[in-house]
Amino acid sequence: MSCYRRRFSRRPVTPALSSQTPLDVVSKRQGPPSTTLVVTRTQSVSTPDSSTPAVQTSKSQQRRDIFNGVVFILESINEVSDAFPPLKSAAAALLKVLNTQKDFTQNQNGWIEYGKEITSLLHMIEEHISLLPESSVPNQTTEFVKVLSDTLTEVTGLLERGFAQRAANVKADKDQLAEFQALVDREQQKLNTSLLLRLSSGSTISTSPELATPSISSYANIPPPPVHFYGRIDIIQGIIQAIKQKLHDRGAHLCLRGPGGIGKTAIAQFVYHHDDTQSSFGPRRYFIACDACNTLALLLTAIAAAIKADTSDGNVYDSVLAALKSSNDPLLLILDNAETFWISEEQQHVIHVLQHISTMSHITLIMTIRGVEKPYGVEWDHLEPVDVLTLEAARTTFLHIATDVKPSDSVDRLLRKVDCVPLAVTLLARLAQTETVEVLHDRLAEEKSSLMQVDFADHREQNIELSVKVSIDAAPMRRNPGALRFLSIISHFPSGASLKLLKKLRNIKGMARALHLLKQLSLAYIPSSSSDLITTWAPIRLYVSHHHPLSSMDKDGDQDIIRTWYLELAALGDCKIQDTQFKNALQALTPEKANMEYVIGSLLTCAAVTDAAVMAALHYSRFLQNTIPSSALLERIIARLPQDHRLYGSCLHSIGYIKYLQGQHSEADQRLTEALGLLRDDVSIAKCLHILGNVKQETANYVAADELLLRSKKLFQDNGLLSDAAHCQLLLGVNKYLQYRWEDAEVMLEEAKATFTSMNDEFGIACCLQSLGDYKRLRYEYGPAEKMLNDAKKKFEHFKSNSYIAQCLRSLGEIKYMVDQYPAAHATVEQAKSLFQQLGQIFGVAQCLQSLGNIQLMQAHYDTAEEFLSQSMTLFRKTGHLAGVAECTQTLGDIRYQQRQYLTAKELLEDARKRFEEMDDQNAAAKCWVSLGDVDRDMGKYADAEAKFEQAKNLFENLKNWLSVAQCLQSLGESKFKQGLYELAEDFYQQAMKQFSDLEEQRAVAQCLVFIADIQLSQQHESVAKNKLEKAMLIFKEIGDNLGIADCTFGLGKVHLASGDIPVARTLLLQAREDYGGLHLHDNVADCANMLSQLPDN
């Protein structure tokens, strides 16, 4: 022992700005202090008033706070350390180092960090020595402090060189600083090892009984079970199953791998306390926290303490192995944070120990380790690396901690910002007990990883920065400084960095080794969704971008290369979906979406927005038009560009097109109209007219649509762009069939298809097939329609055009429900809706919800139908689609009519009619007149009803919509029938049937036959009625109309009942009841049941 007179006094209360000292040190602990000194380098420094994290400080202020805190503690140590001269000497030397470098501009952060860590060691040694009796300072401690003092003297000489010499050796000084840090690490490890070996061999460090509790006992503490533990069922089941399967074989060997904060320790703790492990191992379960076991001796000593091995002979190695072999009863050994001893200079010796342990068949070994590397020397069982939590599990964790917070999109977005990493989720939840989620969003953007710390924040389970820093400060990272440079580049981007981009950098020597190291330490990974990107987890990204930003590490012009790379990448988006290069653009740009938006967005924050940045935004936005439309970048551009800028009109045009794709028709109309006044070249004007024609068509302004599309077509033709002109022709055809001008529509569509075919334009052909399919669908030609739409969908799949695929699916779903295939219809439309949602196309989602409502209405599921239609109407309102709102209002009126809520039905239908008339959609307004007539007829107001039917018929005749004219004749016939005016009724039905026949509408012809049969039966003309129903049955069977078949069966049942043929009537009515039931038409089922109940028993 070194004999120094003990003259230490307790440090006076620090007159600081907060209740914490300026420097957090690891000597903070609860309970009586230990006299066994195990030295650990500090991980963080508290700035003044760290208990109020909302206070923002600049980096320079934080640096001054740290410097002042370090100096204060060193001066305090210097004052009270007279009894131990080596400590006083070391503190004085470090003060000289810090005062020498305080005005440096290069490597200043590094020197301050170095000084902070040495200060923490000196402070801890001073505190422990102050507790020892006189003449009891261990020789090892004295030697350690002397080494520190000698090293600091050498550092002082390095810093006292002139400015020119220092400036010329910045990089060399940085490397030298790393060497000094490594030296302190090595000496610290030696000190820890020697002290713990003294302890394990029975030596005592203190003769004071009340202070004799050894700190090594902390290793053997039973870990508490995790409190908030969600979303880990699969991995726990896998571990328990593996343990049980291997329990009586060789014992399971399981390695829990992953980055810091991913929850490895929590999983190990849960397994430790699991009922199955308790029953399998009983008290022979050992959980060893290896945080400080950075040497083999420390690891063995920790195991020895946990299993209570007899180490009195001084040979810890043999004692531990002998104790483990002493019984063949099953034993569970959990080594937590194994990276501490694995990533060390004694790795080869660690391998030997692991080999011994893993060959003991009664031992089940579980190890948690940072990184993806499984320590060599063990035959490990398969276990995937620990992944982040699912959003659902992360949300559950957050809400169980922050119990006053309600589930919300804002909570989910916050969790996604930290990639649902468990430690980050837990820390944010603890902060959410005193902060709103919105405030946490803002603070995370400003403070990055430094936000995620609580309490004293001097342990990595309380501070995400400490958790990340452990990995970044690992010895392999210090030996490979290039790894941090590449991690800085990777962390610069939201989605990570492209491997192709990294290869473009100027200085890539050692890149492969650096990237391997980052993956090995779980500081980076290659996501399964992309083999070209290497990325990292959000907490690591936030930490690195804050403490090691690319701008501070860019010595090789990396940022210029990156900027050029992304500008060139954006240019790939300047193509049409049918172009051959679109596939290349899709492959290159899809995984880079977040990065593209980040880089281009960064260019838009410059003092002056360059043309290159605007073109990049235009090209990339064009790519988004064909995938997931977003106008965010372009909106930022036009907010900064003057209106006379040559690209302003192009930006407005692109924004208008994107708004159209998103179904925001009012805003699209405004932007496109404004763009037309600014565009100068014919082709750009033609494209703008084309999209504006689409907008007018979608909002049922067919006359304006025709005018715009004709102008666009002519401009395209004049400029030799025949494919674009054919697309205009196609839209003109669609415009015609939307106005029920069937013959004109079919001619135009076939002309467009012929043009595309002559040009071998497969995408254009697909568009024509889609439109022809919709045309056939509206004409009730479901077989040809379905074939055309499926053919179109296959072609669109070849082009990966999800928007068009979704449109085809919606049309196919509508065909299925028109032929009574309701479950298939619902599934198909849901599939379409999901695609539209992924694309962010609100209008498409609204249309799908409308279709889903119609499907439910057809099955008389009125409540569900109303729910879908209400959602649809909300989205239509959001997008400014007035026709959609009116259509949903009309259908809601039809639902109320079906429910016999006639007054409410009339209000809704009147509202819809007025909306259609305001849009000058006479066709839709006429349909409302028909529905209003139906309401009056069922209320017994036949004169009012017939007036409305006539009003509608006249409107349809003016529009030459002969199909709807025939349907009005049907309605007039039904009104006459209800009044008992059978001859007039049959006359109207006969007129309607003739028109339907001329239009080749076989379903409608068959329906007229059913109605005429009812009239004949009412006049007791059973044979005529039977003949009509049998004819109708043949037609319904031919076209596959199950509802029509059921109606005919029911009608024939009534005919046989009227003829007195009871057995046949019963058979037919039972069949009709079954058919209606299969179609979920409960009212019709009730009608059948009512008639069957009136039949005699015989």
Which helix (H) or strand (E) segment holds residue 807: the answer is helix 802-818
Ranges 821-830, 864-873, 976-985, 993-1002: which has the least confidence:
993-1002
- My answer on whether 948 and 1007 are in the same domain is no
Q: What is the pLDDT of residue 282?
A: 93
Question: Residue 856 falls within a domain, yes or no?
Answer: no
Q: What is the pLDDT of residue 554?
A: 67
- My answer on whether 263 and 292 are in the same domain is yes
User: Where residue 32 falls among pLDDT bands split at 50, 70, 90?
Assistant: very low
Question: Residue 285 falls within a domain, yes or no?
Answer: yes
Bridge partners, residue 332, by sequence? 285, 364
3-class DSSP state for residue 534?
strand
DSSP string, 497-533: EEHHHHHHSS--TTHHHHHHHHHHTTS-B--TT-SSE
Phi, psi of 598 (to 5 degrees): -70, -50
Q: What is the pLDDT of residue 339?
A: 93
Q: How far apart are CA 175 and CA 934, in angstroms?
A: 89
Question: Residue 38 falls within a domain, yes or no?
Answer: no
Ranges 377-386, 823-832, 881-890: which has the least confidence:
881-890
Q: What is the pLDDT of residue 12?
A: 34
Average pLDDT, integer, range 685-699: 92
Q: What is the pLDDT of residue 378?
A: 95
Q: How big is the chain by its Cα radius of gyration, in Å?
A: 40
Range of the domain at 885: 881-998
Question: Residue 711 falls within a domain, yes or no?
Answer: no
- My answer on whether 270 and 363 are in the same domain is yes
Torsion of CA 643, 648, 654, 656, to 10 degrees: 10
Tokens of 333: 């050994």
Do 753 and 765 touch, CB atoms closer than 8 A?
A: yes
Q: What is the pLDDT of residue 216?
A: 37
Give the CATH number, domain containing residue 279. Answer: 3.40.50.300
- My answer on whether 204 and 221 are in the same domain is no
**Could you report the per-residue pLDDT of 525-575, keeping only the tens digit for each?**
999 877 789 999 999 999 999 999 987 766 667 888 999 999 999 999 998
Question: Residue 432 falls within a domain, yes or no?
Answer: yes
Q: Sheet with 285-289: list strands edge to edge.
A: 253-258, 363-370, 331-336, 285-289
With 60 as the cut, is the pLDDT of residue 1068 above it?
yes
Question: Residue 221 falls within a domain, yes or no?
Answer: yes
Percent of residues, the chain, with pLDDT higher than 70 = 82
- My answer on whether 892 and 944 are in the same domain is yes
**Could you report the per-residue pLDDT of 750-791, keeping only the tens digit for each?**
999 999 999 999 999 999 999 999 999 888 788 899 999 999
User: Where residue 106 falls among pLDDT bands split at 50, 70, 90?
Assistant: low
- My answer on whether 915 and 1025 are in the same domain is no
Average pLDDT, integer, range 331-353: 93
- Give 324's contacts (C-beta < 8 A, 6+ positions apart): 307, 331, 333, 357, 360, 363
Indicate the number of domains in the chain. 6
How do beta strands 533-534 and 253-258 pair?
unpaired
Mean of the per-residue pLDDT values for the chain?
Answer: 84
The domain boundary, picked from 963, 998, 1033, lies at 998
Q: What is the pLDDT of residue 131?
A: 54
- Give 966's contacts (C-beta < 8 A, 6+ positions apart): 991, 992, 995, 996, 999, 1001, 1004
Give the CATH number, domain containing residue 1042. Answer: 1.25.40.10
Question: Residue 811 falls within a domain, yes or no?
Answer: no
Give the CATH number, domain containing residue 546. Answer: 1.10.10
Higher-pLDDT residue of 40, 333: 333
Q: What is the pLDDT of residue 833?
A: 95
Q: How far apart are CA 569 and CA 592, in angstroms?
A: 9
- My answer on whether 122 and 93 are in the same domain is yes
- My answer on whether 202 and 254 are in the same domain is no
Higher-pLDDT residue of 1085, 1000: 1085
Question: Residue 80 falls within a domain, yes or no?
Answer: yes
pTM over 0.75: no
Q: What is the pLDDT of residue 743?
A: 85
Q: What is the pLDDT of residue 67?
A: 60
- My answer on whether 238 and 350 are in the same domain is yes
User: Where residue 372 falls among pLDDT bands split at 50, 70, 90?
Assistant: very high
Q: What is the pLDDT of residue 941?
A: 96
Tokens of 669: 């109309």
Average pLDDT, integer, range 76-90: 64
Higher-pLDDT residue of 20, 101: 101
Cβ atoms < 10 Å from Cβ of 832: 25
Residue closest to 108 by CA, chosen among 69, 62, 77:
62
The domain boundary, picked from 554, 586, 603, lies at 554
- My answer on whether 986 and 1017 are in the same domain is no
**Could you report the per-residue pLDDT of 118-175, keeping only the tens digit for each?**
776 676 676 666 655 555 566 667 777 777 777 777 777 666 666 666 666 666 666 6
**Could you report the per-residue pLDDT of 622-642, keeping only the tens digit for each?**
998 877 788 999 999 999 988
Q: What is the pLDDT of residue 285?
A: 95
* 453: DSSP letter: B
Q: What is the pLDDT of residue 191?
A: 62
Q: What is the pLDDT of residue 103?
A: 60
- My answer on whether 1034 and 943 are in the same domain is no
User: Where residue 205 falls among pLDDT bands split at 50, 70, 90?
Assistant: very low
Residue closest to 185 by CA, chosen among 459, 468, 476, 462:
476
Q: What is the pLDDT of residue 64?
A: 61
* 406: DSSP letter: P
3-class DSSP state for residue 988?
helix
Q: What is the pLDDT of residue 193?
A: 54
**Could you report the per-residue pLDDT of 416-469, keeping only the tens digit for each?**
999 999 999 999 999 999 999 999 999 999 999 989 988 655 677 788 998 899
**Distance spanning both ends of the chain, measured CA to CA:** 117
Percent of residues, the chain, with pLDDT higher than 90 = 57
Q: What is the pLDDT of residue 10?
A: 33
Interaxial angle between packed helices 882-898 and 922-938, expressed in degrees from 0 to 180 and rounded to the nearest 10: 10
Q: What is the pLDDT of residue 189?
A: 61
The domain boundary, picked from 974, 998, 1022, lies at 998
Tokens of 1019: 């006049």
Q: How far apart are CA 512 and CA 72, in angstroms?
A: 45
Q: What is the pLDDT of residue 209?
A: 31
With 50 as the cut, is the pLDDT of residue 44 above it?
no
Tokens of 263: 């929850």
Average pLDDT, integer, range 814-839: 91
Q: What is the pLDDT of residue 531?
A: 73
With 80 as the cut, is the pLDDT of residue 729 above it?
yes
- My answer on whether 266 and 357 are in the same domain is yes
User: Where residue 179 falls among pLDDT bands split at 50, 70, 90?
Assistant: low
